[in-house]
Amino acid sequence: MSTRVNGSVGTTDGGIYNPGASLAFFVVTVKDGSAAAVDLRSSDATGQALEAIFFAFPTGVIAYDTANANTGVIHVIVDGANAPGAAALQATIRAMGTVGSDSKDVSGTTVSAGAGFTVSASAV
């Protein structure tokens, strides 16, 4: 049997088991200044827009998922202990303007807090 390191699997928060880690979930929809979705499918290399957006998360990104579509949607999981709220993240990302070596305009991006996550056997 394994020894528990921290937390307890007996506690739940809104139906999500929380064994001691504090997580925060966000849905980021990357949009340009005219509110059109930004296609991120070719913007995931070092120095490109996706990486630049992740620098807006001061507690770091634990995991993320991007849609294989031109929707600009990114699901993000971060350390929630000191994570800023969705409005603060939205303001930070919008203020970045044009980012990455691929020059993506992110000035119309929206960020909303997520309630949890779902693991799927297929891509989003």
Query: How is residue 90 written in tokens?
Result: 């939205």
Q: For 88-93, what is the mean pLDDT? A: 97
Q: What is the pLDDT at residue 121?
A: 76
Which residues does residue 61 pair with via DSSP β-bridges, in sequence order? Answer: 78
Q: Is 91 helix (H, G, I), strand (E, B) or coil?
A: helix
User: Does the residue 15 lie in any domain?
Assistant: no
Distance CA 81, CA 103 (A): 32
Within-domain flag for 56: yes
Number of domains in the chain: 1
Residue 2 has pLDDT above 90, yes or no: no
What tens digit of pLDDT does each residue of 15-55 get?
555 555 688 999 999 999 999 999 999 999 999 999 999 99
Residue 29 within any structural domain of the chain: yes
Tell me which residue range forms the domain holding 34.
21-114
Instruction: Examine residue 105 and state whether it is found in any structural domain, yes or no.
Output: yes
Rounded to two decimals, the pTM is: 0.80
Tokens, residue 111: 């960020």
